[in-house]
Structure formats: C-alpha cells, structure tokens
Copies of this chain bind each other. A is one copy, B any other.
Amino acid sequence: MQASPPHPPALRAGLLGFGVVGSGTHSVLTGNRDTIRARAGCPIELTMVATRTASRARASVQADVAVLDDPMALARHPEVDVVIEAMGGTTHARACVLEAIAHGKHVVTANKALLAEHGEEIFESARARGVSVGFEAAVAVSIPIVKALREGLVANEIEWIAGIVNGTSNYVLTQMSAAGRSFADALAEAQALGYAEADPTLDVGGGDAAHKLALLAAIAFGGPPRLDAVHVEGIDGLQATDFLHARRLGHAIKLLAVAQRAEGALQLRVHPALVPRDSLLARVDGRMNGIMVKGNASGVTMYWGAGAGSRETASAVVADLVDLARARRQGAQVAVPALGFHDAALQPPRVGVFAGLCLRHYLRVALDQPEGGAQVLETLARLGVPVTQGAQGRHTLALITGEVAESRITAALDALRALDGVQVKARLRVEDLAGAADGG
C-alpha cells in the first residue's frame, strides 16, 4: 500500500432531493462521520443539496452546505465529485443523472425505476465516461445484495435468485395469512399505517419488484436490465382462504421475484407463489425483504433485512460512496464494473419463453357436488397433469400438481372450466427453491 497523505482530500457529494432518502443520507453521513472517515480513508462531505423544498433542507444541513433549487446546476457543479440522485421519478432524474455523468461525476442512486427503465443508456454513458453508477440502495435497501452478487458470489454461475423484494406487498400478504384479512382490508390497513401509498399499484401489482428483479438479473447474469422481459403478476387477486389451504399443504404464499437460468435461457418473473413453510423465505414477514441466491459453488445463500426506510436506504447509499472513496484513494476510478462484468463480456443471455416454464401448481376448485372432485382428478390425469398433494372438502378441492409446463397447466385449466359443476377459483405457482434445504 502506498503511504497515504496525512489529510487526504474529501470526497465531495452533491445530493439531488431532500425527501426520505436524501435526508436519511444527510443524517447518516453526519451522525457516523468519524467511523465513515476511518473506513473510507478520507472524509465524505456533503457539499451541496438541490431540492424544491430548499427551506427544509436549509434548516437541516450545516451552514457550509450550499442549497440550490436547480438540480441540473448541481449535476454539473465543479465542486461535486459524486451526485447522489434521491429525487425519484424517471424523467427529470434521468436527465440529471446523464448530465452528471457527462460532466465526469460518479452517480449513486436508490432509484430502481430509473435504472430498470433507462439502465442501458445510463450504464453505457457511465462506462464511456469512466465513472461509476452505484445502486446498492435500489434493491432491498440496507441488505448488501448488489455487492453480494457482484463481488461476494462472483466465483459462481448463478442458477437462480428468488426474492421477496417489495415490503408493502409482503406486509399485506403477512396480514392476509396471519389474520385472515381480505386483500382490500389488509391493503387499507397498510395505507393507514403509511406502509402503502395512496396509489399502491406499483407495489401490489408487482411492478416495483419487477424493477428490482431486472437489476438483480443484470448483475447475476450479465447484460443490461431487461424490464421488458419480466413476466409480472400482482397480489391483488389473492383470497384469504388460499392462505389456509396453502398452509395445510405445507406452504406459505409470497410475492416472489424469480430469475432462473434453465437450458441456456433466462426466465424473469414476478408473481405470487407457494413456498415451502420450512424454508426461510416463508419466514420473511411484515415489511422485511429476503433474497435467496443459488450459486453452483456457494449453494444457496440468503439475505434478509429492511426493504425500505430513510436511514436503511442511506446505509446503502453511503456504502456506495465509501466504495468510491476507497477506490480513489488507490488511484482507481471505478473499483468494480457497475454490472459486475467487464465491457466486452456483457453478453446478455437469451430470455426464455414463458410457456416453457415448468413448475408445480396449486389449484383450488369449487365443487357443486363432492363427486366433482373425482371428475377434476380424472381430467387432470387425462391431460398429463400429475397431482402430488390434495385435500377435499364437500365443496372445495385444493391440490398441488407435479411439475408441468405452463402451456399444459393452461390447457388443463381450460378443460376444468368446461366441466359442469366445477369452478376454478385459484391457480398459483409453487416454487420449491431446490437446494435450499437446511444441510441436515
């Protein structure tokens, strides 16, 4: 190691936005200043904030921090080494981030929508300009999952990722499961507690999880984020009764984001799924996030923590800043490529055909007469859909199939719907998380 100067220059950060993420970042940088400096090898100083609510920021930050109202001016300001984008949205944020990159500034952002939608353009601009784009905070905030995939598990061929990455919908599902609440009631409660937004579509519809999945897959498999390739289903169609049936069949219901490599093609999907009750993912409750990763050397590892929060997000934002400070102290610009692969090696894998997906399925069927159950089982058998578990009441049959292709289960559902006295009430995929055993 070279001898370091006694007073290494500070890394100067400019902050775009002073809402939840911005104020949290300021709070952590200020409160943990000495420890961060000791670890980074230099001070990390917030020199400038740009926000529409300048008076709020002015009241919070030290007198020597400039408060601007023009984010573009901050993005190109010569006294800023790294721009922290904490404004949210994708239009203005994109313009500011590209402007910062064009002026040779590193970027750190928690904005998954921005990177999932415009990641290819942003990462490519950063590569061309030789600056880095840090986004640890964009997925599962304080859980260092980006670093785990890009560095910690770097020796592995990643086989699959399965994550609970949206805290709002996980809170709703936990309430539906634990308290037997309807989706509407559980969502209303989450909104009353401030855990869900007035328009919850992005969370409960699966869109937010899809953004995060696109980013995780980009790092794990190499290539730009492919939001367009993510199959997305939300949790708004779930009914409380299915949580009971699932539990009796040994499963919990979670909104999963899954990236899986099978036969050379990549599957990306977000949908509610049954997971084994004894798996750790089934135990990720409330607003927490949890992500399992299967590597071909590591086996399955799992990461758990908060999925949101002001200081929790800041924990990840500041980690990206320290990475930059440490690299710069060594004379390097970019320590690790943003997506974990070097330029020439960014060859995105082929995206798989969804109809070819082969999984187990949970079905719940309402029966006018108990005899209808036999009819359902015969129909499934005739169409090549094996049944591995089932429980029938007088007017309900709940079952889990063996592995069948998506196209086959779709055909089977059509055939069931054509039966007299039988109504298909629910169909959910089952994710077995192969390899996630407890090693006993």
Residues of A whose CB lies within 8 Å of any CB of B are 1-2, 4, 24, 28, 31-32, 35-41, 127, 130, 136, 142-144, 147-148, 150-157, 167, 171, 174-175, 222, 280, 283-288, 295-307, 309, 311-312, 314-319, 321-323, 326-327, 330-337, 340-343, 345, 437-440
Contacts and interface: CB of A to CB of B under 8 A. Distances in A.
A29 to B, nearest CB: 8
B327 A332 contact: yes
Contact of A283 (B151, B280, B437): B280
Contact of A155 (B222, B322, B330, B333): B322
A288 B142 contact: no
Given A39-B345, A280-B280, A439-B287, A302 B304 contact: yes
Contact of A148 (B148, B296, B440): B148
A280 to B, nearest CB: 6
Contacts of A298: 142, 305-306, 311-312, 315-316
Given A38-B342, A304-B301, A326-B336, A285 B155 contact: no
Contact of A147 (B152, B295, B317): B152
Given A326-B336, A333-B330, A341 B142 contact: no
A198 to B, nearest CB: 21
Contacts of A304: 280, 301-304
Contacts of A332: 327, 330-332, 335
Contacts of A152: 136, 144, 147-148, 316, 319
A155 B318 contact: yes
B440 A286 contact: yes
A345 to B, nearest CB: 3
Contact of A288 (B306, B319, B439): B439
Contacts of A41: 337, 342
Contacts of A1: 127, 130, 333-334, 337
Given A28-B155, A332-B332, A38 B341 contact: yes
A4 B345 CA distance: 13
A138 to B, nearest CB: 14
Nearest to A310: B297
B335 A39 contact: no
B315 A297 contact: yes
A347 to B, nearest CB: 8
B342 A4 contact: yes
B286 A39 contact: no
Given A136-B152, A438-B286, A335 B335 contact: yes
